[in-house]
Each structure stands twice: as C-alpha cells, then as structure tokens.
Amino acid sequence: MDLFFKLGWYFKSQWRRYAAAVTMLIGVDLLEMSIPWITGRIIDHVVDDTLSPELLWRYVLALCGIGVAVYVMRYLWRVLLFYSSFHLAEIMRRRLYDHFTRMSPSFYREHRTGDLMARATNDISALEMTAGEGVLSGIDGLLTGLLVVAIMASMISWELTLLALLPFPFMAWYFMRIGERLHVGFRDAQERFSDLNDRVQESVSGIRMVRAFGLEQKEDRDFLQVADRAAEANMRVAATDSLYDPAIFITVGSSFLLCIGAGAFLIERDQLTLGQLTSFTMYLGFLIWPMFAYGWLLNILERGSAAWERIDALLRTPSPVADQGVLHGIANSSIQIDVDSFQYSGTDTPVLHDVHLQIPAGSLLGVVGATGAGKSTLISLLLRHEEGAQSHICVGGYPVQQYTLAALHAGIALVPQDPFLFTATIAENIALGRPGASLEEIRAVAALAAIDQDILRFPQGYDTLVGERGITLSGGQKQRIAIARALLLDAPILILDDALSAVDVATERSILGHLQSARAGRTTLVLCHRLSAVEEADKIVVLSHGTVTERGTHAVLLALGGWYARMFEYQQLERVVEAGH
Amino acid sequence: MKLDTELPRGINGATLRRLLRYSLAWPRLLWQGAGLLLLATLGQVLGPVLVKVFIDDYIAIGQYPSRDLMLLGVAYAALYALSAWAGYQNAMRFNQIAFSVIRTIRAQVFGAVMRKPLSYFDHRPVGSLVSRITNDTEAIKELFVQVMSSFVQNLTLIIAIFAVMAWLDLRLMLLCGLILPTMVVVMYHYQRLSAPRYHHARSVLSRINATLNESIQGMRLIQVFNQQERYNGSFRALSQELFRARMRNLRLDALMLRPLPDLLRTLTLAALLLYFGTQSFNGAVEVGVIYAFVNYLSRITQPIVEMTQRLSLLQQAVVAGERVFEILDDPGEAPVNAQPRAMQGAVRFERVSFSYDGSHRVLENIDFSVPPGGFLAIVGHTGSGKSTLISLLLRFYAPDAGRILLDGLDLAGLEQESLRSGIGVVMQDPFISAGSVRDNITLGLPMTDAEVETAARQARLHDHVMTLPQGYDTVLGERGSRLSTGQRQLLSLARTLARRPRILILDEATANIDSHTEALIQQALQTLRGSTTLICVAHRLSTVMAADTILVLHQGRIMQQGSHHALMSQDGLYRHMHELQRQRSRVEEGYAGLPAGA
C-alpha cells in the first residue's frame, strides 16, 4: 500500500483519468449485476404465469441495452486506466534515460549495463503493473465484492448470502497460500534456470576440452542433472498453479450446493422465489474475481515496491561531477596539469601522483608508458570524467571546473581507446558531434584519417550500416572512423587515447602526417604504447606507475638510455620478428 | 533484453506437428490424461444438470422426499469432488508430459551441440548457442504446459457443454451455438488485425532496448561529443512511439478481446430468455432447463478467450522449435568405423595445408615427424599457426591438403576412442570444476586412489594436495578458486597424465604461469621423456629449450627446424625471438626498477 502513496504524485496528475476509469468500473459492476436480477425476474414471472409479451420484450431490450452499455464502458475503463499506466512507464523510461545522459563515467563503472537495462525494462514494467492492474485489482476487486454481497443480501436474502459465503473465506485463504507458494516456487525456478544457463555456458565455452578428453557423455549426464533440477522446480510451480482451478471449482460447487439446498427450504416456506434463486447462483460467480484479486494485488505491490526502490535509488544518485561552471568557451588551447595525487573512489592506491605538465597552445605532446601507468586517467581528469581534491587541471588558463561541461567538451575532441560505433551509417557515426555536417565535410575528415578509400569500397559507401547490427569492421577501420569523428569537431584540443594501436605503421605515419598540417596551431595529445606514434612530438613524457619518469623529445629520450630507449629498441626488434626475419 | 523477439506472422505447421509428436513417447500418460480430462469435464457439465433435475422435479412441484434429495446432494458433492480431483490429476499428467518432452528435447539439443564439429563453433557466438539450449527450450515448454493443455481442456469443455445443451433442448442449443461462429469470425479478424500491430510494437520495443543498451555503453562518447540533447530527443520519440503502438493494441484488444465475448454472451442470454418467455405463452416450460442454459452460457466464453490469449505463446514456441530443430537436423561428425588399437606415439605431418575459410591459408605445407618418445617443440608469434596445428592433430579440423599419420596410419581413419585415449592435451586455460581434486583428475573415469596419486605425483601436484585440508577430497570451489593459476595448470597436467597418453600435447600450457610452476612442469616433462611422445607449443622459449627438435613457425610455414643449440647458432627468427624475450624482460625489469618520480 505504501507504494500507492509513493506514486501519489502520479495519481494526482492523472486523477481525472483514474476517477473516470473508476466511475466506469462502478457502472460496469452495477449494470452487470442487474443481468442476473432481470433473469430472475423473468423466471419468476414465468413460474407465476404473470409474464406478458410487452413485459418480456421490455426485459429483453433492457438486457440488450445493458449488454451494449457494459461493452462501451468496459472499453472506456480499459483505455482510461491502461493509458495512465502505459503513460507512467513512458515517463519513467524517459526520466531514466535523461538521468543516464547526465551521469559521468564513474557511475557507469559502478553499474553494470545489464543491471541498468533491467531497471529500465523489467522494473518499469513492474511499476506499470502497479498503476494499471494494481489499481484495477485493488479498487475493482474490493468494489465488486462489496457490491455483490450487498445486492445478494439486500435484494434476495441475507440468510442465504451468509450461507453461500461460508466457503469463500476458505478460498481466499487458500489463494493466499497458493500465491505465496507460487511466489517462492517461481523464484526458485528462476534460480534453477539461471544455473542451467551457467552450466550450458560452461560446457559450450569448454567445448575443446570436452572434445579432447572425450567428455561428451559425462557432460550429458551433468547437464541432465542440472536440467532435471530446473524441471523439478518448474514442475513444482506448475503443480501449485494447477491447484487454482480445483480450489475455485470446489468452493463454487459447495457454495452452490449450500445455497440450492437452503434455497429450496426458503422457497418451500415462501421466503424466496425460484427466479431469485437462479439470480442468486449467478451472483455467486461474481465472487471469484474479488477473492483472486486480493492475492494478485499483494503480488503486484510486492514487485512494484521493489522496482520503485531500485528506480528511485538510481534517480536519486547525483552525478559525481557537478556542472556548475560559468565559462562558455575555452580561451586558448594551452593545458596545465598539476596532479599531486589521484585515486579512484573506493580504492586507496593512487593511480597518479606528482604529475606536473605544461602544454603550450598549439603543441603536440606524446604520453607513453605501459598499460596501467595512468595515461587514460590523465585524460579522464582533463575531461572531468573524474575529479580529485588534489588534482588541478587548467585549460586556457582557467580551471576546468569553471567551464560548463558542454563548453569543456566542445573544446576537446577525444578519440577513445575503445572506438565505439553506434548502430547507424558510417556517415552518421562520423557526424556524431555535428549531425548537420555535409558529406563533403565528412569525406574530408575521413580522408585525413585515411579511411575514405576503405569506406568507398563498402557496398553502400558512407551509408553502410555499422555497429552491433551492421557490418563488422576491423579494429583498425573502427579506430580510423573514430579519428575522423573527432577531427570533424575541429576542436582546439585533440586527444588520441591509444587510438592507433590497431593501425599498421605505414597508415599510422600517414595519418600523423595529415594531422600535423590539418591541426597546425592547435593542441594535440597523443597517448600510446607504440613509440612510433610520438616520434615527431614536440615533447614526450614517459609515465610509469602513475608518475612522470622521463621527459624530452624523441632524440633526447633516446640519448637518455632509459625506459624509452630500451622500449624503442625492443619495438624495433619486435617489428623485425613480426616480419618473420 | 532479448533483441531477437521478432516473430513471423504465420505458424509453421510441420514444426508444430513435430513438436507435438514428442508427447507420443508417453502413451500411458496421454491416455490417463485423456481419461481424467473426460472425467473432469463430465463433472463440470453434469453439475448444472443435477440442479436442473432438482429444480424441475422437486422444487417446481413442491415435493421434497428426503431420501431422493440426500441422494441428489451426495451425487452433486461426489461429482464436484471427483471432477476437481480429476481436473487436478489431469493437469498434473499434462505437466508431466510437458516436462518429460522438454527433458528429451533439452538432452537432444545439448548432446547435439556437444557433438558438433569444432568448426561449427567458429562463427556462432556462445551466447546464442546457450540461448538455443535454454531459452528456446523454455519457450517450447510453454507450448506443452500452457498451450496444449489449455486447448485440449477448453475444446473438450466447449464440445461437452454443447452436447449436454443439445441433450436438454436442441433448439436452445442451436440458438446458443450462434455464439461460436460469431466468436470464430471475431477472433479471425482480431488475429488478422492484431498480428501486424503487435509485430510493430515488438519491433519498437526491441529498438528501444537496443538503443538503451547502446546508449549506456556509448554514454561517455555521447557526453564528450555534447550530444545528450539529441540522444534524449530520439529516445523520447522512440518511447512515445512505443506508447502509441501499445495504446493502439490496447484499443483493439479492448474492442475485440475481453468485452466482446461478454457482450455476445449477454445478447445470447437475451435471445435465450426471449425464446423461453415466448415458449411459456404456449404452454409449460421447464425452469430447470433455463437454469442450466443460463449456467452454461456463462462458461462458454471463458475457454474461447483463454485460447486466443495463448496464441502468441504458441507462435513463440513454434519459432523456438524451428531454431532447435535446425541444430538437431544439422549433421554432426560422422563416426569413424575402425578397430580400436593401442598407440605407439609416432607422429608425422606430410605436406599439410589448412585454412579456416577456404581462402586464407593458416598452415602451408607443414612437414615433420616425431618418433615415439620424442620431444618436439613448436614456437612462433601469435597468429603463426601453432594452435591450428595442434587442432589438426587432435582432429578438431581436417587438413585441406596433405596427411597426418599416427604410427604410420592416416589420422582420419582412426577410431575415436583409441585416438582420445592415445593423445592427451594440456591447454592454456584449463577448466577446473567446482568439485574435489579427485573429481577434477578422474573427470568421471573410474580410477583407483593409487592411480590418481601417481598422476598427481607425475605432475608434481601431490605435495600441494597434501597441504590441502581434505587432501584429494578437498572441494576446489567455483572455477577452482582455491588454486593458483600455476597449480591449476599442474592439475590439468595431472588429469591428462592420469589417462596415460602415448602422446602428450602442451598447448601454450606455460603461457600464464609463474617460473616456479614452469620449472615443475619441465621436471615432469623430463621424467616422461623417452616413454611418452611430447609435443609442446610455447610462446615462452625457456619451456622448449630441452626439446629434441624445435619447429619455428611464421605465418603458417616452417621457417626453421632443429635443436636449441643448432638454431641459436644461426642468424634467424629463432635467435631474434630469443633476443626479443631477453630484451622484454630487460624492459620490464628496468621499468619496475626505476625510482619513483625520477
């Protein structure tokens, strides 16, 4: 019930629809219940021989009218009520998405994609159920129950009503118990099913070992064991589920028996008519739904509450990075980095310490070092994906916090390590940051990234669909599209975060050559593992275990004879071996 | 979450029939189910008849002989109890059939996947195969649990109700019978109208899920490129489109699905009463009959509605069935018929060439031989073809050209079991199950404790096992989490040696382990030398220096061949690789040894 209050804001905003839907439901219930009454009246007239053709026609036409009215009202309450529940789902989905767009990468590190997806799909469905079926079973279940009992007691016989109702509390109690068992059983079945999934996953992934050791039969046996456990759990659910029908059947049957027996007694004493007895048994049928509705409501509310908690918790998570800057554009492309120490939240080993770098506007800086040396963290700080009290980054002379996030991002174009492509055409992917760019502009940057010719060779050229459902591109092609995408922004600062690793050395050289002329006067940061990408840089820094260990030009660093020089020698040799010499 | 939820509009009759045929394997359950179903239905339709008798023969006349009434009451109670019991038992029989069928199908499809040639797995993501075995069979389950039982039960009920109606009053039955063709026409049109609409709604939903998934993964990019507004806008448009599509479906459902049968029922009731009333002007009528008809009428619509609601489940089950049968019908490996034979351990490759895709050669003209008890090492860079060569030797793939000979016999003609017992392999990333050490060594084979221990000793694992709390019975936990990477590799070696192979293959078995474990493995290899043929594929050259012969592979060809000393004396790939590894450790060392903040 608590959940209905938590969703109060929504019910308030939709109160007119809900009120109309409830009015319709009441109307439907009242009209529906007049049908047994009319049937009873006709029978009584027949038995008493007082039926006239006019009267008969009046009743029959009334029945038809009621039938049509009920039909219309049933249509209306469905549309009204489920409009509201679908609408709630729609609003929540959009809110979540909007929230997602404002969360920084550290948020995505903490929440797995599957988990976020589950909230945006399953949990929203559960909320929707609350606002639709939940309201229906709560209000209509109660309403129908009260109405039926009231009509039976006041219009026919309260003694008979009491008698006929005797079995129903048992049914309600039984339904609750079945409901609970079903709930527990269902959860168990789902767990067994996920065991089955894991088991199959293991077997299929380990197929080479299965083959090499001839384990097929053992695998079959193990699989059947897990599959049988899943089937047993499922069977228990099905068995519990099969209890509903006999329970309804027995309850209604015994109620019928009671009321027909007692009814005959009352008829004999002239306290009841045959028609009334017939309508009475028809009313009994209306009582099944309220008994069922209660258990259903509890189930919906339980699921809905859990879903609401999860969604609400997500929506309440503030973005770890506050967007409170006032500067709307970056003045110049110089960068100053002063990191005394930085660690990710929840860890205590610093990823970066004592990193102090001055990058003049228009220069090319190379940052090299082994995986895990802290190169990408540096970029995260610059882009404000991460923040730390002991790190100060300035762009154009102002701390990055003083810019609006939009301005900061507009000033910096990034080619990320993972060249993620969206399910869209190549042209659309390149034009990610400038959706209005012309094909000429797109082709121009693609040429700079040495990918134009590759794209033209695809069957649909720039209109070729890529991404998860599109064609598969090689790692190098993806990287070059990502470079073109960043170049199209023509931002004052360009960052290549290990963005050439899958591109061969010759192509790398030609792209770097293009960049030098295209980006004259602007700042470029090249982070890489392969040293050939930074040979031409104005300055190269070597990061090791989170701090700068060597700095200088290519020539200076070679002469220094440190890590850079050794790595350079190693990579030369590696190239020789890779060529097979 | 599932993206491939799009369903075709029709239902494949052949697949449906094939699925249903599975249930024929349990004839006893089927017969029992059918009998119980008839019993349950009989009870359901006869109840109102008893009440009718009571009304017409006793109440209407006003006579209540207590013996008759008792009898009637007991009959009624017994009928209801019997019907409820039979209904439950019938449902349980159907459930049992359903789960037996699913068990069979699951076992079949799992077994079929486990026996596919390895090339089958090359282009199929693990996730989709897993989904075939679990999710698709789960969807088929619904066909038996929900669809089949519902159809059989409801159809029987409808037929029985009409039969009893006809027995009571044929003309009234015909009048009520009008509801059936009307419902069929309505349902036909409903299916026709709703199928494309539901199809549309499902595809919008799967687009939403795909967009959501992609946006979450690419959110950093969307933000860095300042495209939040645009993505928000297009998601809003999609979300609203889904809302509109669902409202369209809802309106159609509300128009045709639930309220309409009720309307038809009320109208039929009106016609029934009109007929009944008119009849009463001409003479006496049986009130009990009208009672029974009113009662039946309220039970006819529910079964029809229920069946229409199960149609989409039926559709999903058949689509899932098609996918499962596709796997079952795809031929697996043809078994080789040959005499089992003990192996000596001589291996010979004769001008073997191979490619995965038919165009790009991964191995080219590979030619070498190893005598029984010899020690061959294969080295090369990533992508040089080392692992492919081992795959061919294990007969995971067949060579495109040339022959592979074991003891002078063509590998392709050897019997599967003797091949497997003859060749043992230790892989780079061994799979350790959550069971005990012993289970992981025997892998289901009957073995004495002494055999297990001997294997563990040979693999230099015994001493460590002795330090574990329950020795060989220690349970290793999820994926062998109680063991280090190196120990897992030793366990993998032990399990292989326990099978006493004549040929032992180490496929990059030393790639991820510490040098202490590597030394243990080298010791183990030294003791096996001479009695077992050793073939060792390694990236790490230290593992292979002791080999009789080292093959140096590059891009699928043998570049050099010879002992370590012979190869080191040449200015070639092997020496350069050696140099590179030395250099690498120097770089790593120097790197780690640099003072912080220098």
**A239–B576 C-beta distance less than 8 A:** no
Residue A83, domain CATH: 1.20.1560.10
**B62–A278 C-beta distance less than 8 A:** no
Considering the domain architecture, whether residues A435 and A310 belong to the same structural domain is answered as no
Which residues, other chains included, contact B115 with Cβ-Cβ below 8 Å and sequence gap of 6+?
A216, B332, B333
Residue B540 has pLDDT above 90, yes or no: no
Contact list, A108 vs chain B (CB under 8 Å): 216, 219-220
Q: Closest to B584 (Cβ–Cβ): which among A285, A354, A570? A: A570
Q: Find the domain containing A533 and state its range.
A: 335-578
Considering the domain architecture, whether residues A306 and A403 belong to the same structural domain is answered as no
Q: Is residue A273 part of a domain?
A: no
Q: What percent of chain B has pLDDT over 90?
A: 25
A373 vs A337, residue with greater confidence: A337
A106 vs B338, residue with greater confidence: A106
Contact list, B96 vs chain A (CB under 8 Å): 235
Considering the domain architecture, whether residues A310 and A344 belong to the same structural domain is answered as no
| Both tokens assigned to B150 | 């519902």
Q: Is residue A183 part of a domain?
A: no
CA distance B526 to chain A (A): 23
Helices (H), A320-388: 375-382
Q: What is the pLDDT of residues B306-343, one digit of tens each?
A: 887 787 788 888 888 998 998 898 876 666 677 777 78
DSSP assignment string, A77-139: HHHHHHHHHHHHHHHHHHHHHHHHHT--HHHHHHS-HHHHHHIIIIIHHHHHHIIIIIHIIII
Number of folded domains that form chain A: 2
Q: What is the pLDDT of residues B137-168, one digit of tens each?
A: 988 988 888 888 888 889 999 999 999 999 98
Which has the minimum average pLDDT: A73-77, A364-368, A571-575, B59-63?
Answer: B59-63
CA A138, CA A81: separation in Å to the nearest integer? Answer: 13
Which has the minimum average pLDDT: A105-109, A361-365, B562-566?
Answer: A105-109
Contact list, B281 vs chain A (CB under 8 Å): 51, 53
| Both tokens assigned to B446 | 């009957």
Residue B594 has pLDDT above 80, yes or no: no
Q: Closest Cα partner for B537 from B526, B547, B523, B527?
A: B547
Considering the domain architecture, whether residues A413 and A496 belong to the same structural domain is answered as yes
Considering the domain architecture, whether residues A312 and A452 belong to the same structural domain is answered as no
Q: Closest Cα partner for A341 from A395, A400, A372, A381?
A: A381
Considering the domain architecture, whether residues A49 and A111 belong to the same structural domain is answered as yes
CATH number of B347-589: 3.40.50.300
DSSP assignment string, B463-515: HHHHHSTTGGG-B--GGGTTS-HHHHHHHHHHHHHTT--SEEEEESTTTTS-H
Q: Give the pLDDT of residue A265.
A: 85
Helix (H) or strand (E) holding B414: none
Q: Is residue A240 part of a domain?
A: no
Contact list, A33 vs chain B (CB under 8 Å): none
Q: What is the pLDDT of residues A348-362, one digit of tens each?
A: 888 899 999 999 999
Q: Which residue of A has its CA nearest to B433?
A: A202
Considering the domain architecture, whether residues A309 and A422 belong to the same structural domain is answered as no
CA A246, CA A252: separation in Å to the nearest integer? Answer: 10
Q: How many CB atoms lie within 10 A of CB A201?
A: 16
Is the distance from CB of B436 to CB of B465 less than 8 angstroms? no
Q: Closest Cα partner for A363 from A332, A340, A400?
A: A332
Contact list, B577 vs chain A (CB under 8 Å): 577
Q: Is residue A296 part of a domain?
A: no
| End-to-end Cα distance, chain A | 76
CA B358, CA B398: separation in Å to the nearest integer? Answer: 12
Q: What percent of chain B has pLDDT over 70?
A: 95
Q: Closest to B274 (Cβ–Cβ): which among A56, A74, A215? A: A56
**B576–A246 C-beta distance less than 8 A:** no
CA A51, CA A73: separation in Å to the nearest integer? Answer: 31
| End-to-end Cα distance, chain B | 51
CA distance A569 to chain B (A): 8
Contact list, B278 vs chain A (CB under 8 Å): 53, 56
CA A229, CA A417: separation in Å to the nearest integer? Answer: 44
Q: Is residue A54 part of a domain?
A: yes
Phi, psi dihedral angles at A403 (to 5 degrees): -90, 155
Q: Closest to A79 (Cβ–Cβ): which among B73, B251, B594? A: B251
Which residues, other chains included, contact B30 with Cβ-Cβ below 8 Å and sequence gap of 6+?
B23, B24, B93, B97
Domain ranges of chain B: 13-329, 347-589
Q: Closest to B583 (Cβ–Cβ): which among A35, A260, A569? A: A569
Considering the domain architecture, whether residues A341 and A314 belong to the same structural domain is answered as no
Contact list, A208 vs chain B (CB under 8 Å): 118, 396, 427
Q: What is the pLDDT of residues B184-231, one digit of tens each?
A: 888 888 878 887 888 888 888 888 888 888 898 888 889 888 899 999
Q: What is the pLDDT of residues A22-50, one digit of tens each?
A: 999 999 999 988 998 998 888 888 888 88
Considering the domain architecture, whether residues A307 and A340 belong to the same structural domain is answered as no
| Both tokens assigned to A540 | 């190269």
Q: What is the pLDDT of residues B18-49, one digit of tens each?
A: 999 999 999 999 999 999 999 988 888 888 88
Q: Is residue A104 part of a domain?
A: yes
Question: What ipTM was estimated for this complex?
Answer: 0.85
Q: Is residue A384 part of a domain?
A: yes
Helix (H) or strand (E) holding B364: strand B361-370
**B290–A43 C-beta distance less than 8 A:** yes
**A97–B235 C-beta distance less than 8 A:** yes
Considering the domain architecture, whether residues A385 and A314 belong to the same structural domain is answered as no
Domain B13-329, classified CATH 1.20.1560.10, yes or no = yes
Cβ contacts below 8 Å, chain A against chain B, sum to: 376
Helix (H) or strand (E) holding A207: helix A207-213
Contact list, A60 vs chain B (CB under 8 Å): 270-271, 273-274, 277
Q: Closest to B87 (Cβ–Cβ): which among A219, A249, A550? A: A249
Considering the domain architecture, whether residues A313 and A417 belong to the same structural domain is answered as no
Instruction: Identify residue B266 by its one-letter amino acid code.
Output: T
Q: Give the pLDDT of residue B10.
A: 62
Number of H helices, E strands in chain B: 22, 10
Say which residue the tokens 């960049």 belong to.
Answer: A515
A505 vs B364, residue with greater confidence: B364
Q: Give the pLDDT of residue B598.
A: 30
Q: Strands B423-426, B503-507: parallel, antiparallel or unpaired by DSSP?
A: parallel
Q: Closest to B110 (Cβ–Cβ): which among A70, A223, A285? A: A223
Which residues, other chains included, contact A506 with Cβ-Cβ below 8 Å and sequence gap of 6+?
none
Is the distance from CB of B405 to CB of B347 less than 8 angstroms? yes
Q: Closest Cα partner for A532 from A563, A506, A494, A495?
A: A506
Q: Which of A73, A97, A270, A283 to mutate to test the interface with B (most CBs of B within 10 A)?
A: A97
Which has the minimum average pLDDT: B102-106, B276-280, B283-287?
Answer: B283-287
CA distance B270 to chain A (A): 5
Mean pLDDT of the A547-566 span: 92
Contact list, B217 vs chain A (CB under 8 Å): 113, 420
Considering the domain architecture, whether residues A45 and A151 belong to the same structural domain is answered as yes
Q: Is residue A412 part of a domain?
A: yes
User: Mean pLDDT: which of A281-290, B281-290, B522-531 is highest?
Assistant: B522-531
Angle at A77 between CA A71 and CA A80, to 5 degrees: 140
Mean pLDDT of the B562-582 span: 88
